[in-house]
Amino acid sequence: MKESYLEIVELDNGDIVLRPVGDEGETTEPLATLSISDDTKNYLKERYFELAKCMFHAGIDFVYSEEPTFGDETEHLDDMDLRPKILH
């Protein structure tokens, strides 16, 4: 199985996205987008990006937790090889 790498980047418009790492020069569609208000960015200074990383990590941990529920069925995602690698 091909390894899946993810990256967390801040776009020119200020949004922070979680997206698959593309080949050189390739832009990939974000899996999730986070917008942090200017007030919050001013309050947190440079730590706002750390906040975004924590939020994305929490979401990934939820998806790969022992008992995730999707719709009416419970699926078990216990294959450690399926966990994406995250670049910062």
Q: What is the pLDDT of residues 29-80, one digit of tens each?
A: 899 999 999 999 999 998 999 999 999 999 988 888 866 555 555 555 555 5
Kindly report whether the global pTM for this prediction surpasses the value 0.85: no
- 31 and 19 in contact (C-beta within 8 Å)? yes
Q: Identify the residue with better confidence: 80 or 16.
A: 16
At 87, give phi and psi (nearest 5°): -100, 145
In 3D space, the residue among 29, 35, 32, 30 whose CA is nearest the CA of residue 13 turns out to be 35
What's the whole-number mean pLDDT along residues 4-22? 90
